[in-house]
Structure 1
Amino acid sequence: MAFLHSSLCLLLVHVCALSRGAWAKVDLAVDDSVEVYLGDSAQISCQYNFSAASQPSVVMIQWFVRAVGNSSRMRIFYGDDSQQMVDDNTPYSGRIAVTSDQQASLLAIQDVRLSDEREFFCQVNGLAAGNAEGKTHLRVFAPPEAPVIEGVLTGISVTNELPSKVASCEARNGFPKPNITWYRNSTPLLPAQGHVNVLTLVTRESNGFYSVQSTLEYKVLKEDKDAQFVCEVSFSVPGAVRTAESKAVNLTIYYPTTMVELWKESPQGLVKEGDTVELRCQGDGNPPPPFVFSREQDPAVDLESRGNVLMLSAVSRKDSGVYRCRPLDVEPLAEVTGDVQLTVHYLDPAVVVPKDSEVMFKGESLTATCNALSSLKTSTVWYKDGKQVGTGNTLLLQDATYETTGEYVCEVTVPSLPALHTSGFVHIIVQGAPHMHDMDREVELEEATGRLVNLSCEAHGHPLPSISWSIVGSQGWHEVVSKANEHTAHSVVSVKVTSDISALCNASNDMGTEIKAFSIKAIPMVTSTAPFSPAEGNGVIIVVIILCILLLAILGSILYFLHKKGKIPCGRSGKQEISKENTTKDDIVVEMKTNPMEEAVLLKGVNGDKKSPSDQYMDLQK
């Protein structure tokens, strides 16, 4: 009841003040708008000033808010010098506070909501001093969620006549309503008839937020296959406008093939017969079309292939030519093809002339050739017994000997393609009469009677010579070695010397005969009663003489030493006599006990005179 009474009093005062406002003046200042984030606190200031001539004794302050959806206003606060009161049962009961002084009133709103975006009125009444009213628009801001973009997953063909949907973008729960803009590679897409359409759907959620969904329809081109599409949301915040960008999406663009390339994938380098060749075809169409392969010389015949790959197994020279691939996503009459030249290199087996084998006569000359047909330049080398004997297609054999006989191999290679190589051979046989070593002279030997002598005979020739022996003067002989190789025969006989011997080695073949003679002179065996032969005796004599000289030298040294010590007096002893310091070799007498024959051998000089052992040794050395 007290509240109703107060309200009626205030209303009455307000009416009286209005009736007298023509004679009073008050200045009032408020902000046109106040901006604040959702959930923050808002402060709305109301500044007032009365003229000096009409200062009121009582000032009444009231705050109103315009109700949503109509033009009526709702009071939320009133106060004067005696009391301050927040109206009950309003959306702001418990959320606002007002502080006032003689010149200002400040309305504070806690926990700002979306519904707080309204017009707030400040009314100042100084009764007879005058009254005034000001209006402030409270604006509330809530940034939306990050934009979410979804691109069309299926491919879009450039052949579509109208713009096609390429992506959609959504920004949710923003306040006030956000806006969406589309970009292609950082360039904004503006609506254009027949090229760009943008469809926008704005939804007011039950909680008061705005959600915006935008769909981009775009007429794609082949150049868009690598383009990036982005949507950008712009929204207002206190004192500014901000933006947020979505992730980028790429489109799958379908377009027909306009260019085709065909190349040899493997093997690397040159191709030879027997290789497996892989040809690969690729076009610029999307999706990649299937291809048809053919040969230029027979374009109506399609070759069996797998996708964009043509495999040619174990190729030969017949597979050389121009190969072509054609995509199936173009018109049959369209000239969209790829070509590649395939060359299969080859090397035929070597052909050697003479073939297999050739017989030559000793002293003749022969020219052998080796050729192999090839698609590339070749190199030819001749070998015999593993050693190089010539280069080039021609081999010249001059003045043939038996050493010329053998197998000659020609190796043909392709320097630019080492995997290509072939070979051939020719076997050379040199024919001739037998030939022996030392055939121009007779071999003369001297051997003691009773000894065994080996006679060797070796003959070269083709056909292989046969060796026979004819021996006169000995019945005790036999062949101990008989061997032969391709063109050499070798025979060794053992002959017992009983008398003078004449031996003939006869080597013969179809080309002739050659004889080698041996003459052996028998020397009688010398016998002696001495325990050693004359030859052996000479060596023994030399050794004995040397030992005697050494013994005499040692004996003389001992006697001289004893004489100096006085152990032996001077004089004669037996058959030795030392009568003076210097003696000659003729004064030295050596007495040796031996038999007469040994003495004759030992002491006999060259002229029949007896000599000292030292002289005999010197004579033997001479």
Structure 2
Amino acid sequence: MDVRLSASLLAGIVLLFHGFTAWAMVEVSMEDRVEVFKGDTAQITCMFTSDDGIGALTIQWFYVLRTGEKQKIYYQDATMQVVDRGTPFTDRIMVNVTAATGEVVLTIADVQIKDQLEFICLVKSLTDGVSEGRTRLLVFERPDFPTIEGVQTGISVHEDTLSKIGSCEVKNGFPKPNITWYRNNAPLRVSDVVKVMPSTTTESSGLFSVSSELSLKVTKEDKDAQFYCEVTYLVPGGTRMTETSRINITVYYPSTAVHVWVESPKGKIKEGDSITFNCHGNGNSPSSVYVIRHEDNEYGLESNMVVLKNVTRLQSGLYECISTDMETFEDLSGNTTVFVNYLDHAVVLPTNMEVAQGEELTATCNALSSLQTHTAWFKDGREVLVGHTLTMKDATFDTAGTYKCVVTVPEIDGMETMANLRVHVKGAPKIIKPEQTDLEESVANMVDLTCHVRGFPAPSVIWTTRDGKVLETTSQTETEDGVQSVVSVEVTSEDLTAFCNASNEYGADALAFNIKAIQAATAIPPKKIRKESSGVIIAVIIICILLLAILGSVLYFLYKKGKICGRSGKQDLTKEKSSKDNIVVEMKSDNTEDAILLGVNGEKLPPSNQ
């Protein structure tokens, strides 16, 4: 009985111990990886379950060295929280524990490439239950924008070996970026005619720089091909792609045909133009030499062009461009035809005409041209007639002058020629009267008098004074329809009259200029005189009014005192004779029956004297 009881108690203890152990077991779960960009903040979460309270747990964080050893960076129990000193994470980590959800979060600030490590979260209970989880921290860095550089020299299709096309480079990425070459949007695969040589450099920062060089056997079709690189790189949660700019290469291949054309001018060509010929083969071999031939002349080309300056009609004709391959000495040619339009100098007949007033004049203007022309006549910049023949009836002095004949080719801008016709209208002089012939000038001033005379032959002009004195002419010039004469005279104290006397074989005309001399004192501009005198006049008027008012007041005062007008009291009006000083005038008012007697001096007599 005792044995059975002892066995039962032992079994119960074993079962109790086993149940307690299961109850105290800790479980930890973590993600396989956490991805983050370099420089960002990483959060590694450790989820745990335990029947013990947070105070009964010990939490530790480790990272795994590249040798496989573990390095502790954090410790926490019920009494302390300690960040280990002297590790790469000492100043950059923080741990937050949420007991209610069983969550421990390790936060790492300013993540670097060297932080790409495995981190361990270890949770241990007081009952010796322990569990750990592991997470791999993956760090990413976007690379710089990729660059591409093509070869600067041309590549011949006759090359026997593969030729370098260009190189691509992408710097400072993590993990290592990948480069793929493309031709016309199609990826290039390594083969007998395509070779790709990649290389990788690890920078001091731990980032990767990758370059790639492309070589291939070029064909004529590659002259228009576009080559570029595609760069793929990893980022948190996926893959990204970027492309370089496109490049072309120069491919040398032989010509099978040659073409020549006039590059400029566009349209019709005229004498005096510069003609630019362009000659091209459909190949671009550098060993080809081009020349242009016209009749017995040969012109070498530079950059496939030749310029003929200041061409004439003699340079019209067939132009042939010849290409010679200096390796095979084979010739290819093409040709074009050029016609140089011309316009001869305008010819006016006659060039100088003299007609009498009232007569009719006729002149012609012609210019030989390869194209249809347009002729117009101008005088003083104004169009007067369109056509080859200029006809004007009933000539007057207004008809005289210079006429310009302008011949143009409407089809070609700037193609024109011109000639002049000088017309003289014969007749007696006629002086054009100016707006003012009566002048006022200050004494000692010099006055220029101008006399414009129309007439042909050019009139002779003589200046004289009223008394017949001849004045020396200052200047005299011929005009379109006559002459213009100027004389300078000095104004003296006496008035002066100057005569402009014009004459030719057909008659004479005269015009008088009257100059009134004024003294310098009166020569002040009227506005200034009025401006300065008006204030003085106003001041004088005010002073006079004040003096009159004062004088009136004094006279009135003396009158009241009887000191003036012989007044010494009442006057006797009963005298048989009244002097002229005692004339009495009776005045009546409509408002009163009293009469007022006024003396001859306008004095008011009081009623007692009536």
**Structure with larger Rg:** 1
TM-score interval for Structure 1 and Structure 2 normalised by the shorter chain? 0.3 to 0.5
- Normalization by structure 2: what TM-score? 0.45
